[in-house]
Structure 1
């Protein structure tokens, strides 16, 4: 169905003002009469960062419905954690809603800090963990650290493939290539043990990146071994900055990677403090000590309430690298 632009815009404004009235008590009539920018009525610190009217899509990018009221949020939260006034209704005036997690919306400019969306063109998106310096690098350009399944497409990528920032699901295109895949530790899917899920990519222009992690700042040296009950934090593409506690230092786990299974040994397990520590899209985040910001692990997987990470020493040893 093709809708004329004028009709579509009028319909969009009607549904968006109705949504604002339901969620935040903003008078739809006053917005209509004064032509006030609706986005200015969002409360400071709200998880909702935008509203729109367009297609409803599945997480895989498949169009599910012709039209929907789109609600852009920093992070999707379970309904049980929302108060009645914060819960997005399933429909507005008979039109379905679509809650879309976008993190913090920022202008796509360089230089890019760590802790943001990144990925191989053939995956959705993961997180740019940190910057590395390689012992055998032919030049001074830094390297990006993330997971194999984020930057090497779970072994399917080729050395030299472009790495996008932001990742494709966040709007990244070939014009947003920030690095080229340099190396990755292959993931074994034949019942052999894996110890890290990691990949590195050479930044093409050293001025395009910053070593600071958003909300955390620059990590401190040296990296440290994890300790039981240690308080840690990370900044990821999806759940942003979160704090957690290490509850296992030697977890042996079976991980679903795409449509395959991989066994990992001696992994760190983390649970969030008051919220989930991570969610899909946070893979590749650097985990640091909550107080002194020394690197501890590389986030790569998660279950219902538990996040798993590679010990950072194993990752750095594999690539003969140090964190910048």
Structure 2
């Protein structure tokens, strides 16, 4: 092996990013990176795009559509079998930034569950933590109960600085609950990430679940497990073992996994919130519809770009997910064709988690009325996205 220059590495990463989404769509793929190809299980001196799979299968066992390319744009493709054991210490320790797949709880309730994912409040774009109702809601329910991360495992004492936020909203029927990140006044807060522990990509939006969908989750107890949705009543669905990717521990869930997010294994789109599992007479798990949960609790799972409520005389926010530290830009255009020059727009830099935010004030001109469309052109790492919304509020008619 030899050390490459930063310029060479960036060229490799640029090539990888161009093809990563396509490569991740192949079955059994866990991650894609660039590095030295393996030869006899040891790194060689040959650089390659490396596709990490949970299990490496003989080419003869794969259909043509399942076979990865041997090279891309002149760079070899190396397929590496890698199924890392989840780092339990990481999941059970205090995390900042806060991410999915880690310990969360309410000391009044008992043992810990899983923080499924960071989600965002519709309108305000405020980050919130999503988990199960039975993980963080005491009996009787108490709004503003303190929620901790990590949740201590009895008889261990509560670790220092474990306060995560306050219990805000819940729905017992859907077994879902939300807590703030920090206090309501912004103190005692932590940074957030849309990543989920031990998964290669963050959740990418949400969609309805469907029978036959291959799914994956990342839970506190059993780590990463794969399955197939085999039935649903519209709100609740069940998951059985995918024999092509059997769970490492032989189960789809266990105590502590409650609150995990079930995701489409190919697209990482969220489809449900895990709440129960069994091992006898068969291995099976259950989840509730993430679409129903998001509608009930007034939140969403971020996918690329989101825009908040644009209040006339108030503020509007845009939130986006991209590459860490990427240079981004926001341009706002009104129906008249005029581009806004408000302070807060323009170039911004994504944080270390790949999140980028803008906030600007919308004036009270009589030309701005409720229902007027606002077009936000968001450029993320060179790719432009358009999000459209409508103004709300009341213009200043005294002008």
Decide: shared fold, TM above 0.5.
Answer: yes
Q: CA deviation at 1:132?
A: 1.6
Q: Match for residue 41 of structure 1?
A: none
Cα gap change, 1:322 to 1:109, in 2 (>3 Å): closer
Does residue 108 (structure 1) correspond to residue 94 (structure 2)? The answer is yes
Find the counterpart in structure 2 of residue 283 from structure 1: 258
Change (3 A) 1:148 1:174: farther
| Separation in 1, partners of 2:195, 2:128 | 14
Correspondence 1:272 to 2:241: yes
Deviation at 1:209, TM superposition (A): 2.6
How far apart are the structure 1 equivalents of 2:107 and 2:145? Answer: 9
Structure 2 residue runs without a partner (length 5+): 1-85, 183-187, 303-399
Residues in 2 aligned to 1:112 and 1:144: alpha-carbon distance in whole angstroms: 9
Structure-1 residue corresponding to 2:213: 230
SS of match in other structure, 2:135:
helix
Q: Which residue of 2 aligns with 1:131?
A: 118
2:229 paired residue among 237, 246, 263: 246
Is the Cα contact below 8 Å between 1:127 and 1:284 reproduced in 2? yes
Asked whether the equivalents of residues 235 and 292 of structure 2 are also in contact (C-alpha less than 8 Å), the reply is no
Match of 2:150 in 1: 166
State the TM-score, normalizing by the size of structure 1: 0.57
Answer yes or no: is the 8 Å Cα contact 2:99–2:118 preserved in 1. Answer: no
Residue 184 of structure 1 and its aligned partner are, at CA, apart by 1.0
More helix by share: 1
Displacement of 1:302 in angstroms is 1.7
Quote the residue 1:322 is aligned against. 300
The one of 174, 180, 187 equivalent to 2:166 is 180
- Match of residue 295 from structure 1: 270
Verify the 8 A CA contact 2:170 2:176 in the aligned structure 1.
yes
Which of 196, 211, 215 is 2:194 aligned to? 211
Deviation at 1:136, TM superposition (A): 5.0
CA contact (8 A) 2:146 2:165 kept: yes
- Which secondary structure state, in structure 2, belongs to the residue aligned with residue 228 of structure 1? coil
User: SS of the counterpart of 1:168?
Assistant: coil
- The 1-side partners of 2:160 and 2:204 are apart by 33
Partner of 1:156: 140
Q: What corresponds to 1:40 in structure 2?
A: none
Partner residue in 1 for 2:132: 147
1:128/1:146 contact within 8 Å kept = yes
Q: Is the Cα contact below 8 Å between 1:103 and 1:238 reproduced in 2? A: no
Q: Secondary structure at the match of 2:129?
A: strand
Assess if the C-alpha contact under 8 Å between 1:133 and 1:321 holds in 2: yes
CA distance in 1, matches of 2:241, 2:149: 27
C-alpha separation between the residues in 1 aligned to 2:196 and 2:297?
21
- How big is the alpha-carbon RMSD for the aligned residues of Structure 1 and Structure 2? 2.1
Measured after TM superposition, the shift of residue 224 of structure 1 is: 1.6
Name the CA distance, whole Å, in 2 between partners of 1:147 and 1:108. Answer: 19
8 Å contact kept, 2:227–2:239: yes
**C-alpha separation in 2, matches of 1:210 and 1:124:** 24
What SS is found at the alignment partner of 1:308? strand
Shift of 1:156: 2.8
Q: Work out whether residues 100 and 196 of structure 2, in 8 Å CA contact, stay in contact via their aligned partners in 1.
A: yes
1:72-91 matches, within 5 Å, as: none
